[in-house]
Amino acid sequence: MSISTNDLKNGMALNLPEGLMTVVEFQHVKPGKGGAFVRTKLKNYRTGAVLDRTFRADEKVPLAVIDKREMQFLYREGVDYVFMDNSSYEQRNVSPEALGDAVNYLKEGDSAVLPTYNDDVVGIDLPAAVELEVTETEPGLQGDRVSGARKSATLETGLVVQVPLFVETGERIKVDTRTGEYLTRA
């Protein structure tokens, strides 16, 4: 299925030779002389890499239909992550490569939206922040209240983040899934 570059919208998925891309932004340009063209910023679904690409106006590009399903992370089986579809209760194994950095924020029982293309999981949409438990961090020293001072903390998923000195082992904290940074105590 193809679509004209004149009909592009933000968030559309395209199946280009460079890979499965989503339109981040686009701009129609009509110069004084010469043909009109469409300048786009595309993001690779799998790698997250951003690419600038220019198309002729009304050029046909292959449209990709991405099916987004809400699924619950059940458990790990070997290296794979096992998810259950919240509507059909069907289970499927997903490789860590398809999930990328999201594996640092997933714990059993969490729900996430998994975009699929041709029955392949091509990524994961996580909430902006997740709550995770601190499993290991050095104790903060009494009176050590230097503003902005940080220490390392290991979370239940194995992710290591920098946290303020007052955060203790066993506490739950909120972590930004886009930057991997500590936000606040939960």
User: How does pLDDT run across 18-70, given as a tens digit for each residue?
Assistant: 888 989 999 999 988 888 999 999 988 777 789 999 999 888 999 998 888 89
Q: State the pLDDT at residue 37.
A: 92
Shortest CA distance to 6 belongs to which of 55, 51, 53, 47?
A: 55
Which top CATH class is 2-62?
Answer: mainly beta
Distance CA 167, CA 104 (A): 19
Domain boundaries defined on the chain: 2-62, 67-121, 129-185
In DSSP terms, 163 is beta-bridged to 151
Q: Which two tokens stand for residue 76?
A: 């790990």
User: How does pLDDT run across 65-113, given as a tens digit for each residue?
Assistant: 888 889 999 999 999 999 999 889 999 999 888 888 888 899 889 899 9
Residue 140 has pLDDT above 80, yes or no: no
Q: State the pLDDT at residue 55.
A: 92
Shortest CA distance to 174 belongs to which of 123, 138, 126?
A: 126
Distance CA 50, CA 24 (A): 9
Q: State the pLDDT at residue 137.
A: 87
Residue 148 has pLDDT above 80, yes or no: no
Which top CATH class is 129-185?
Answer: mainly beta
Are 1 and 61 in contact by the 8 Å Cβ rule? The answer is no
Q: Is the pTM of this model over 0.75?
A: no
Identity of the residue numbered 75:
Y
Q: State the pLDDT at residue 144.
A: 58
Are 163 and 174 in contact by the 8 Å Cβ rule? The answer is no
Q: Checking phi first, is residue 109 left (phi over 0); if not, alpha (psi -120 to 50) or beta? A: left
Instruction: Judge if 67-121 and 129-185 fold alike in CATH terms.
Output: yes
Q: How many CB atoms lie within 10 A of CB 171?
A: 14
Are 58 and 4 in contact by the 8 Å Cβ rule? The answer is yes
- Tell me the CATH number for domain 67-121: 2.40.50.140
